[in-house]
Each structure stands twice: as C-alpha cells, then as structure tokens.
Amino acid sequence: MQKQIKSALISVFYKDNLENIVKKLGEQGVTIYSTGGTQKFIEELGVKCVAVEDLTAYPSILGGRVKTLHPKVFGGILARRENPQDLEQLKQYEIPEIDLVIVDLYPFEETVKSTTEEQAIIEKIDIGGVSLIRAAGKNFKDVVIVASKDQYADLEKVLTENNGATTIQDRRNFAAKAFEVCANYDVAISQYFLNNEPGDYFQVSAPQGQVNRYGENPHQRGVYYGNLNEIFNKLHGKELSFNNLVDVDAACQLIREFTETTFAVIKHTNVCGIASRSTLKEAWDAALAGDKESAFGGVLVCNKTIDKTTAEAINEIFFEILIAPGFEAEALTVLQAKKNRILLEQKQPVSSKYMFKNVLNGVLLQDGDNGNYKEWNDVGAHAATAEQKSDLEFANIVCKHLKSNAIALVKNKQLVGKGCGQTSRIDALRHAIEKAGQFSFDLKGAVMASDAFFPFDDCVRIAHEQGINAVIQPGGSVRDNDSVEFCKQHDMVMVMTGMRHFRH
C-alpha cells in the first residue's frame, strides 16, 4: 500500500546533502516542521517551515535538551492511521499527522574520540533524536523514518521517482536501518560508561565496510564489518576477500610485536617465514629463505618503508598482499606492475585488547594475548648467552603466532623451521625439523620455542640430536623436571616463561 508524504519533521545535526530533499518536499507541497539550526537552514533555501515551538506552544528549554519531546510531536508520529480512536484524539488535541521524520543523532562517537572532557561527551548523548527515531520506526506502517545522512540518497530517490509516495516495503526498509542506527549508538554509549570493558551483555557494533565475494569457501556468504580505511590506505589491487582479511589480521598482529627491521610471510594465518635484519632487503631475503615453497601466494608484511631494491626482489615471486608502513615512489612503480596484487599502507597498529569467537550459539571473549617476552627463569645447564636470549625472545614471539601445537626453530633471528597445527607436540617438532632440512638449514646452534609445556623429555632429546642448544617454553607440566634434567646433563639452555601461548 502506497502512502503519500504530506507532512515532515526535520531536525538534524548534519545538513550535508539535505538541500535537494528539502527543495523537493517544498515543491510537493509537504508541510515541514523543524527546530533551531535546521529551521534556519530550510528557510534560507526559500522553503516554508513551521517551528516546532509554534506547534507545541512550548519553547526549546534546558539549553536545547528539550525541544521535540511533546505529545503534539509524538502523537502525530505514533498515531495509527487505521485506528478511529487515534484519529479522533488527534482531532481533539489539534495534533497534525506527521508522515516523514528526518532526524540524526548527536555525534557521540566522534566526541569521545576528540575529547576526554566528560561533560562535553555527556551532552552528546541524544535523547530527543533517539525517541523520534524509535517512535517513527515503530509506526513504520504509516511513517517514513530517515535516521542518518547516509540514507538521504535513498529518500531523494523515493521522492523523485514516486513523487513522494512510499510503499510499505520502503517504510519497513527505512525503519530497519533506523533501528540499526539506534543500536549502534546505544552500544557506543554503553561502552563509554563501561570504559570499553566487558559487561553483562556481549556488545559489539561495527560499520559494514564491504560485502566479500564469498566467505571462507565459495558456497559461503561473507561480509566484513569494520572500517579498513582507519587502518590502511589501499594503494593498489583487487578487493580484499574474506580469507585475505583473516590473513591480513594475522600479519598485522605479528608485525606489531617487532621494532627491529623485520619482514614476515603469512600463509593461512601461520608464519611461514620471518627474519629481523639490519636492512629491509636482508630481512626479506632471510624471511623468504625460511620457506620459499609456502611463500607462494602468501601475505607479506614488514615494519619499514618498502624501497626500490626490496621491491624488485619481492617482485620476483607471486604473492597476494603486501603490507608496509610506507612505499617509496619507485618501489610502487615496480610493485604495481601486476594489477591484482594488493598493496596496503598501514597507518596504525591493529588493536588486540580483546579477542572473541562464536561457539555453541554464544560468544567466547578473552583478553588479547599480550605478554612480556623478556622475563623468564633459566632452569637449564647455564644461563642463556646474549645471542641466545635474542633468538629465544624472537622464537617465542613467532611461536605464539603459529597454530597449536606449535614449535618454532630460530637461528640468528630467522625462522628456519616450524611445525604448527599438530595434534602432538613431538609431531610439531618433527615437522619443524623436516622443514629446516627441506631448505638445507643447519640446526646446530639454533633455539627451539614451544607454545606450551613438554609433557615428556622426548622433544628436548630430539632437539639435542639436531644440534639445538637452547629451549624456551612456558613450563607447567608435572614432568617438567624430566626435560630440565636432560638439558642440565647435556649442556643445554632451558628457560621457562610461565606463560602459555595456545592458539586454537
């Protein structure tokens, strides 16, 4: 059923792109009610407007906190047009029907980002706007609600193509978007009062950035909710897919752990190559050497600006994505030669204060895995040397970013072997050793990191046979002493961190 818009209430904070709508309503003879700055804006366009104060016979009071909260406004919005009693009361109290409500909300989230002054933030908690949105949305059978400037184009299309008439589906669609606006707003306010800590309800609200081509597999639908533009400048390439986004997150979570010049290669969220060196080109060469096979089609990430020399070296392999804090102009020219290759300039770190996943029709939430990697207890044959300490710290960070069960073998701040996603720790070690052998790495003098404790001494025995001379692990097994005693007897360093890094 179509309904003609004959009257409208407009009260907005943002006037952007509102001009055409106001003029169109004026041309269609719609009676417009408005307040304050919006009223002035409308009248300056040469369109007639009735002040809400004239409708209610009450002025705007309490410094503007109360303007539209009045029965003559809400009665006109909430009245059910098919209900004779409602219509009789409108007539009795001289309340006009209101067919269209255009209102947005005070910029609460923007204010929180721009100041810590509590009073300024509190004043941006909208009351009247939310009430108007909910009222109009509830009565969508009769009323059109436009709750954001992002919907102005949709409204203008309806006004132009249908000459101000709307269908029930039009009104339902506008209402659905309006309630989303309110929900997002309420979550932002709630999180402010909770200091962004978890409360009694799981609350997350993020804007829809893009619809993916598909999800993890082609038969699955995929949508990304968030704002990639806050984190990256996309300099080149195709759209990021669902799997791309998962890998990019893993890459960014990893690289934020390093300050020394570091390059890493990610494949299916696991690190397959990583190294720290004095120059970026050297770091790239060492990272690639760690597993040239797995690097094919991977996601590359570094923490320094990409120069031309490094770009030319990277350009020799096929990769999906390259993430860096900057790109020299000559480097971009080299890397942009292939059109689908995605180049992301990272503007800010990726936050990991909380992590969550959906399970069993509910949500699991936990703190981000942010640990101190430089504190441990030496429990082996002797304390670690300065060189061993450097490699042990590096290995521990890398191992944290591998799927459990995980083992990382490191030598001279280069990942030389890794085993991940295994159902036993000894299998993870065997896989790591096999990988090291595949690319001809000598494990003599290497270090080993484990994401969890060793239940037996089998892993340190095998490591010793390979020439590995230092081990970092969290400890915590009832049989820790078996591994400790083996290290003591065979002149091996073992350090215990007391911090496990499972990654399921």
Positions marked active-site: 138, 268
Among 35, 169, 203, 175, which Cα is nearest to 100's? 175
Exposure string over 467-502, b if 16+ CB within 10 A, otherwise e: ebbbbbbbbeeeebebbbebbeeeebbbbbbebbbe
What does the block give as tokens for 207? Answer: 């804007």
Give the HSE-up count for residue 388: Cα atoms under 13 Å, Cβ half-sphere.
20
Give the HSE-up count for residue 108: Cα atoms under 13 Å, Cβ half-sphere.
22
- Determine contact, residues 44/180, Cβ cutoff 8 Å: no
Residue 469 Cα to chain centre, angstroms: 40
What does the block give as tokens for 42? Answer: 């409308």
State the DSSP H helix or E strand holding residue 133, giving kind and residue range, or none if neither.
helix 128-138
- Please report the DSSP string for 381-423 in residue order: SSPPPHHHHHHHHHHHHHHHTSPSS-EEEESSSBEEEEE-S-S
Among 179, 191, 170, 200, which Cα is nearest to 363's? 200
- Determine contact, residues 96/73, Cβ cutoff 8 Å: no
List, in sequence order, the alpha helices (H) in 139-206.
152-161, 168-193
